[in-house]
Amino acid sequence: MSRFSWEDNPRPRRAAFGRLWQKLILTPIAVFAALADARRRELLELLALGPDASAGGLAAMLPVSRQAVEQHLAVLEEARLVTRRRSGRQVLFSVRPEGLIATAGWLGGPRHRLGDSKNLR
């Protein structure tokens, strides 16, 4: 018999549920919220075109300030759509496709479980 019982200590169960909630529900919501803004979609597309880019380099391609680009990139990073890394004095951003893949899987889940789209009418 195990020494640990869920009834003895419900805290790990709550923590596990919180991580599951964040992974399954909050990630798609954060992705949709991040992609609701046209400028963030444009930034994501620019980052997908090539290797890592800095906020200043991205701002040079857009009619917005570097600070505005950094704010948009922070939202994209929070939604797990981009990642940042330091290279000397620069902070470089790149696309994380996992966030979009997870959201696409989340969207496909109910349809897959329900069967044919003819049944949804």
pLDDT digits (tens, 9 = 90+) for 11-64: 555 555 555 555 555 578 888 999 999 999 999 999 999 889 999 999 999 999
pLDDT of residue 73: 97
Q: Does 2 have pLDDT greater than 90? A: no
Ranked by mean pLDDT, which of 11-15, 78-82, 96-100, 117-121 comes out on top?
78-82
CA dihedral sign, ordered 100, 94, 83, 65: negative
Number of Cβ within 10 Å of residue 34's Cβ equals 23
pLDDT of residue 24: 52
Helix (H) or strand (E) holding 62: none
Q: What is the biggest distance separating any 2 CA atoms in the chain, rounded to whole angstroms?
A: 65
Query: CB neighbours of 51 closer than 8 A, spacing ≥ 6?
Result: 94
pLDDT of residue 4: 45
Burial of 112 (0-12, 13-18, 19+ CB in 10 A): exposed
Q: Does 99 have pLDDT greater than 50? A: yes
